[in-house]
Structure 1
Amino acid sequence: MSSSNQTMPASSPGVGEHLRATRMEAGLTVADVASRLRMQLRVVEALEAENWAKLGAPVFIRGQLRSYLRLLKLPESLADGVADGDGRPPDLTPRTYTPPMQRMLDKAMGRAVYVVITALIAVPVWVATRSHVDDSRPAETASLGLDGDLQNAGDEPRPARPTPVTASLGALPKRAPLAQPATESAASDAQVQASLLMRFSGDSWIEVIGPDGGQVEQALVRAGQERRFDAGTVARVKLGNANAVEVSSDGDVQDLSRFQRANVARFTVSSDGTLAPASE
Structure 2
Amino acid sequence: MNEQQQDLIPLSPGERLRAGREHRGLSEEDVSRSLKCSVEVIRAIEADKHARLAPVYRRGFVRAYAEFLDIDPALVQSATDETYEESSALRSVFPEARQLKSSDRWLRVASYALASLLVGTLAWQVTHEAARLTNVEGDSVSAAGTMTPPPSAHVSASIASLESLRVPAAARAGAGRQAWQAVDNGLANAPLAEGEHLLELHASADSWVEIVGPDGQRLERDLVRGGEKRSYRGQAPFDLSIGRSSAIQLFLDGESVDLSAHAREDVARLRLDPAAAPAESEEVAEQPPQES
Q: Is TM > 0.5 for Structure 1 vs Structure 2?
A: no
- Greater RCO (Cα-Cα under 8 Å, separation 6 or more): 1
Structure whose residues are more often helix by fraction: 2
Q: Could you state the TM-score of these two structures normalised by the residue count of structure 2?
A: 0.31
